């Protein structure tokens, strides 16, 4: 199964890397991003890994933890779609459309 990153999820991962690089170092930032990417690759073999998010009616929405981040994804029959990467302290929006909007507001 293929793991597909949505444009907004890729953008968010780059924002996380830039923030960590400013606060720490480019090496630390790269390590965090690599850990997140490696963690999501496990979904290729185990798409039902992680915890189902009951917050959403869609039963395919799950989260995978790579502390301190939450990778929000949708398991589809043909692929796993990474929707967002959130810091664990960020609250989940009320709907999935709000997920993109919420991330955009917080990163601005």
Enumerate the domain spans of the chain. 2-107
Q: Flag the least confident range among 17-26, 27-36, 52-61, 70-79.
A: 52-61
Given a cut of 70, whether residue 83 has pLDDT beyond it is yes
Average pLDDT of the residues of the chain = 85
Cβ burial, residue 33 (10 Å; 0-12/13-18/19+): middle
Q: What's the pTM?
A: 0.82
- 93 vs 79, residue with greater confidence: 79
Query: Could you tell me if 63 and 48 are in contact, meaning their C-beta atoms sit under 8 angstroms apart?
Result: no
First CA to last CA distance, the chain: 34
Report pLDDT for 96: 64
Helix (H, G, I), strand (E, B) or coil at 33: helix
Given a cut of 50, whether residue 105 has pLDDT beyond it is no
Instruction: Say how far apart CA 37 and CA 102 lie, in whole Å.
Output: 22
Return the CATH fold of 2-107: YaeB-like fold (3.30.2310)
Report pLDDT for 1: 87
The encoded tokens of residue 17 equal: 């890397």
């Amino acid at each position: 199964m293929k793991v597909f990153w949505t444009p907004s999820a890729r953008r968010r991962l780059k924002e996380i890397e830039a923030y960590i690089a400013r606060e720490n170092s480019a090496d630390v930032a790269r390590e965090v991003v690599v850990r997140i990417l490696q963690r999501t690759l496990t979904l290729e073999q185990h798409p039902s890994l992680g915890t189902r998010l009951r917050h959403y009616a869609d039963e395919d929405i799950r989260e995978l933890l790579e502390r301190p981040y939450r990778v929000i994804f949708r398991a589809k029959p043909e692929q796993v779609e990474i929707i967002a990467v959130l810091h664990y302290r960020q609250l989940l929006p009320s709907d999935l459309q709000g997920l993109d909007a919420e991330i955009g507001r917080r990163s601005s």
